[in-house]
Amino acid sequence: QFVDLYLCGEYRGTYQISDQVQIGDKRIPIDSNNGWFLEAVTETNAKEEPYFQISGNTYCINIKNPEDVYLTDAKKEEIKDYCQKAYYDKVLFNDYNDNYTPSTGYRAYWEEKDLVDYYVATELIGNYDAFISCYAYKEDGSDKLHMGPLWDQDIAFGNNNVYNENSGFVKDWGKYKYSIYSYIMKDARFAEQSYLRWKEIYDRGIVSHLTNRIDELAGLLEQSQQKNYALGNNNSYGFN
């Protein structure tokens, strides 16, 4: 939601406000006491207690849920052991010559459809933050993690000088090499599923839908953005 901010009657700029990612109805569909809600971060200054490090990888996992009395030492160790396999062991050592290993490879720990959707959406909108911080969740006792939801789009849609016409693909980003996708894209079946998903949403008109929405927002913000930049607010790339 875009807003024009006034303080004491003085216009201070145009901003975008949004909710945080939360557990709840039509949000993260897990039990608020025992469900797992995790944030994988690659920047050391982004780790928050309680967290743990993935051995052999740059990922730290911030445990957003369970909290308080529900996050016992035993539960934390269970989450840590599961994530070590999901984010590294079963990804790095997956048998990529055997393209479909649902019971022994990374698919035993991840819902494949969500991995595909997250990758395709990231490719589509060019969100450079997608592999620096990404969420995952699952119900306590369920078999697989779900990747997502998408979030933090402030330097997506070309609002950075990394994603551009010359090197615009996810595989060209520096942070991509730290993500699980740098491994699972070696899986021919996963690559095929990603292609088919992209073709599906392309054929359904995703490009025209997005461009029409961009035009709508441009019209809505025409006067506001002129006032905003007249204040000297930043109109350069969001990331350098």
pLDDT per position as a tens digit, 141-196: 998 999 999 887 877 777 776 655 545 566 666 566 667 888 888 888 888 999 99
Residue given tokens 């007249």 in the structure block: 230
Question: In terms of pLDDT, which residue wins out, 44 or 134?
Answer: 134
Give the global pTM. 0.86
| β-pair partners for 43 | none
Contact by Cβ (8 Å): 64, 73: no
Distance CA 155, CA 120 (A): 17
Query: What pLDDT score was predicted for residue 42?
Result: 80
pLDDT tens-digit profile of 111-131? 999 999 999 998 888 887 788
Query: What pLDDT score was predicted for residue 164?
Result: 54
Residue-wise DSSP of 131-187: GTEEEEEE-TT-S-BEE------TT-TT-SSSSSSSS-SGGGSGGGGGSTHHHHTT-
Q: What is the DSSP letter of 110?
A: B
Residue given tokens 């350069």 in the structure block: 236
